[in-house]
Amino acid sequence: MNHQQAPINLLFQPRSVAVVGASAIPEKIGSKIMQNLVACHYPGVIYPINPKGGDILGIPALKSLSEIRGGVDLVCIAIPAKLCAAAVEECGRIGAKHLAIITSGFSEVGNLEEENRLVAIAREYGMRITGPIIFGVYTAAASCNASFGPRDVEPGGVAIITQSGALGIAMMGKTKTEKIGLSAVVSVGNKCDVDEADLLTYLVDDERTKVILMYIEGVKDGEKLVQILPDAVKKKPVIVLKSGRSKRGAMAAASHTGSLAGADDVFSAIMRQCGVQRAENLIEALNWCKFLEKSPLPAGENTVILTNGGGIGVLATDACEKYEVNLWDNVGEMERIFADSVPAFGSYKNPVDITGQALIQDYDNSIAAALQHDNVHSLIVLGCQTAVLDAQSLPATINKALANHMTKPVVFSFFGGPQIEDAIYQLKGEGKPIFYDVYEAVACVGAAYQVMRNRKIDWGDAGVIADLAATFDRAAMTAILDGVRADGRRFLLAHEAHALMLAAGVSMPQSIVARNLDQAVKAAEQIGYPVVMKIVSKDIIHKSDAGGIALDLDNKAEVMDAFEAIMHNCREHNPKAALEGVEVVEQVAKGTETIIGARRDGSFGPIVMFGLGGIYVEVMKDVSFRALPLSRNEARRMVKEIKSYPLLLGVRGESQKDIETLLDAILRVGAILKSFDEISDIEINPLVVYDQGMGVKAVDARILLRHPAKGALA
Amino acid sequence: MKKLVVASTEKSAGKTGLIVGIAAALGGKYGYIKPIGDRLLYRKKRLWDHDAALFVSLWKLDTKPEDITIGFEHAKLRYMYDREATKTKINEMVAAAGAGRDVVFIEAGNNLAFGSSVHLDPISLTKYIDGSLVLVVGGDEGSMMDEIHFFKNYIDDEGANLVGVIVNKVRDLEDFTRAYGEEIEATGIPILGIVPLEQQLKTLPVKFLVERLFARVVAGELGMDRAVESIFLGAMSVSAAMDHPMFERENKLFITSGDRSDMILAALEVHAACIVLTNNLLPPGNILSKASEAQVPVLLVPWDTFTTVEKISQIEPLLTIDAAAKIDVLKNLALKHVNLEAFAK
């Protein structure tokens, strides 16, 4: 009988913890966990479980889980893999809620079957499993360090979810050095059950947690993650660090989408879509956590750089461009603000240069002037070691600035010899936002701006996909797909894809399938010249290669010649091919060529792609990705993201293009993929976009079906 | 003006080559039409036959290649013309092609039956224009004799005006003549020539291969004029390849997968005429550089090796306008082995 699933908050607020594999031998994992639980003064009940019984760190050990009465909220299992199933079963019988399986030797070594067995047992009892292959759980809410990580953890506002055990432990150590306090650290390991999305449901509403950092190596249930992240980032910053930026995997080249959708590109795009900030490296991730935990968010986009050196000011300007920090350029007002602190030969243009002759007092004055002014929304203070700058007074100046004005983000970066380094070291030790490197400093301001901007985003109504799907002629689309399957194919012929798109409300050129020359001529005359002709044959996929396409046919004679050429070429190309006829298609007028793709990503499920289209799409690679569900606003942001977006706005005297109808097409393609589980890939290339009000036309559509035997991706 | 319909009993018997050779041997001015095309070229909405384009260029004909052929596909021919219209059209074309010319050659279809349902078989053509028929037979000796005997019966029934038969691409001239000469004479069919097989005519220019395969040239562009005589499939290990008797033959085309750098290097070592890489796989850049230095064209195709071999083996070594050496060979063959008087005006 399946019990109700244990609520996730019990993982973070366990009232009792059992350690299966607890040991008195100090080097053993079971002992380390016990030591940490005791050292952090965990106030709940601790049950050391050891078949030998006895006494572990002054706590009587139980010989088995069955001796526990009244249930237990969290059980840490640190015994050999082959014994875990029995232990999990026993946990179920005693009413355990959450299991943290420390043990390794499961799916990471190919033993997926055993891992699935653990999950099946847990599900039967309503238990949740975190792991396997983890270092445990730390939670400040319960003063509980049920891990074999560092012992003395400073409580604070940063929560870490980590897929790497060793790195997670190292991060805990590093946060101590960096004076970053932790609200929770959860090691997720193989993610056989509990994953990031589950943990976020708690952390997002946890008052202690101010910032969430996720270290991810692979995403298992991306669809679940995408559902929760947008709401999470509205409440607190979410930072992700992902490893595995390797070369694109060898995706099947069945579609451009497949070949362009490198795993890392898709991951980045979807994190951006959800408002999650992706750090480049560990240091950056921890810098952002520390800064965002304590710093207020900026109230506007005006950033001022204060510097005593032109060179470092330029570096900061470059960094601001990289991290999308906007420099305030109201020179007149800055002159008024800094009139008393910038010497005559200084500069009021941002970066504001107080020159190499600036004394520490000049820094005091200019910083105070900047922070007092309502139109300065954030401040970047830079300095180079000079003969006149009193580095020893730097900590006092900075502390004064931060103490008096904690309403806007401020960062400091100084560069120089031992005295400067000593000052920085001291301030960093106090947890102040000062950096050895100007890029690190600016990156933190950039992170704050991303949080601020993300909170202002109107994410829009993601229900638009379902609304559009309701307008489809579903019966017609199903009939087409059934016909394809019955024919033993996994791809739709051109006219089938055409019909399916029309049934979904995507504008396609007029098209008629002709079985012979007479019908072809009549079709061309019905549609109107010029027309395009394409071979119809299930044995010929790449029509151009077979000489099976003729363009720009202006009259009957050209139609007849084209019919002849296409049939002859295709027969030569593949003598055994069944040539069913030709498709006579309205020739689409010239416009801006774009591409819309959709496919089922292995991690994130259904995703859509948009970009500059045509035959050079895989060379130009100017594309953007989004996961479903997708709102109209998000589709608009997706379109704006491509480098060629100005072409849609109209360049060199051209009119703006019909972006609204383009958005409609993108959403409809997403809705098709969402509505029909058997479809694996959809691609329209090109989708020609015309001037505003003139609509779009999908010139060519390719649709692939999932492999029926695997029931998985094509 | 003499009007000669040149027919054959099978595809690639050598009609076009013989027409080129005979005309070159005789000198004079000739016209040419090919009513039912088979070597279709379609570019920029122009549709013409490869052989038609050859003769327009070679003989400097005052016509477009598109106008030398009525059509390629039975469906279109049936749609456009009935028998009367076909006869009218053919006569118009012959008149136009023959204006100011000594002889007009009308090249018929692949075999005697080809075009019958659309009124363009060789016998019909001959009768439309009140011309004469020359038959070219090729292939193995046994089937050649079948064809000659069959033709004798066929022509007697049909009553067309026969000039004679040319036996083409004979492997061993002396042997054939000794074995079959008397038998052929006994049929009563005039033998206009027994022409030996000439290997040089079977070579494929690399640039022709590129066109037919829709291949991408990824290196060695300067070697595009090379000619390929044989094919070597590099699917085995390099040491096994080197032991193969065909490995060091001249002018061979190497076909191998793009990830076989070892085989590609081995091919370059033995001065391959051309290398075709399959599966759209490119080797490292340094390998391509070596090929470019050696001026060995490297072509890239998307198909697997087996499919590529199949496609290449189906490519006919068509005559092209710039194949001056081949045209010379054809002329000499005609001079030496064909009764040219039968073709003179």
Report d(CA B336, CA B330) in Å as an integer. Answer: 10
- How many Cβ pairs closer than 8 A exist between chain A and B? 44
Are A564 and B79 within 8 A, CB to CB? no
Nearest to B40 among A516, A545, A568 (CB): A568
Task: Over range A118-125, report the average pLDDT.
Answer: 96
- Write out the two tokens for A434: 């000062």
**Chain A CB within 8 Å of residue B21 CB:** no
Task: Over range A207-226, report the average pLDDT.
Answer: 92
Nearest to A516 among B45, B75, B302 (CB): B75
Name every chain A residue with its beta carbon within 8 A of the beta carbon of B42: 547, 550, 561-562, 565, 569
- Write out the two tokens for A500: 């399916």
What are the start-end ranges of the E strands in A68-208? 72-77, 96-101, 128-130, 136-139, 144-147, 155-162, 182-187
Report d(CA B89, CA B108) in Å as an integer. Answer: 15
**Chain A CB within 8 Å of residue B59 CB:** no
**Chain A CB within 8 Å of residue B150 CB:** no
Nearest to A565 among B42, B79, B80 (CB): B42
pLDDT tens digits for A434-452?
999 999 999 999 999 999 9
> Backbone phi, then psi, for A546, in 5-degree steps?
-90, 0
- C-alpha neighbours within 13 Å on the C-beta side of residue B204: 22
pLDDT tens digits for A357-408?
889 999 999 999 999 999 999 999 999 999 888 888 999 999 998 887 678 9
Name every chain B residue with its beta carbon within 8 A of the beta carbon of A572: 40
Are B42 and A550 within 8 A, CB to CB? yes
Are B76 and A560 within 8 A, CB to CB? yes
Q: How many CB atoms lie within 10 A of CB B171?
A: 10
Nearest to B72 among A516, A518, A568 (CB): A568
Question: Any residues with CB less than 8 A from the CB of B246 and at least 6 apart, and which?
Answer: B230, B232, B252
Are B42 and A558 within 8 A, CB to CB? no
Q: What is the pLDDT of residue B160?
A: 78
**DSSP one-letter code for A407:** S
With CA atoms as reference, the chain A residue closest to B315 would be: A572
- Write out the two tokens for A342: 């910038």
Task: Over range A248-270, report the average pLDDT.
Answer: 66
* Low-confidence winner among A11-25, A604-618, A690-704, B61-75 (lowest mean pLDDT): A604-618
Structural contact between residues A111 and A54, judged by C-beta atoms closer than 8 angstroms: no
Are B42 and A547 within 8 A, CB to CB? yes
Report d(CA B26, CA B103) in Å as an integer. Answer: 11
Q: What is the pLDDT of residue A250?
A: 35
Given a cut of 80, whether residue A123 has pLDDT beyond it is yes
Are B71 and A568 within 8 A, CB to CB? no
Task: Over range A184-192, report the average pLDDT.
Answer: 95
Are A517 and B79 within 8 A, CB to CB? yes
Q: What is the pLDDT of residue A256?
A: 60
Q: What is the pLDDT of residue A138?
A: 97
Given a cut of 90, whether residue A261 has pLDDT beyond it is no
Task: Over range A104-124, report the average pLDDT.
Answer: 94
Q: What is the mean pLDDT of chain A?
A: 91
List for chain B the helix, strand, coil content (%; round to 5).
45, 20, 35
Report d(CA A26, CA A35) in Å as an integer. Answer: 9
Q: What angle do CA A460, A466, A471 make, to 5 degrees?
A: 120
Are A564 and B80 within 8 A, CB to CB? no
Given a cut of 70, whether residue A709 has pLDDT beyond it is no
Per-residue pLDDT of chain B (345 residues; tens, 9 = 90+): 899 999 998 888 999 999 999 999 998 899 999 999 988 888 888 899 989 999 999 999 999 999 999 999 999 999 999 999 999 999 999 999 999 998 999 999 989 899 999 999 999 999 999 999 999 998 777 888 888 888 888 877 777 788 999 999 998 888 888 888 888 888 888 889 999 988 878 788 898 888 888 889 999 999 988 888 888 998 888 888 888 888 877 888 999 998 899 999 999 988 899 999 998 889 999 999 999 999 999 999 988 888 898 888 888 777 777 778 888 999 999 999 999 988 886
Nearest to A567 among B45, B75, B80 (CB): B75
Nearest Cα of chain B lies from the Cα of A518 at a distance, in angstroms, of 7
Task: Over range A608-629, report the average pLDDT.
Answer: 87
With CA atoms as reference, the chain A residue closest to B307 would be: A574
Instruction: Give the residue among B130, B114, A352 at the shortest CA–CA distance from B122.
Output: B114
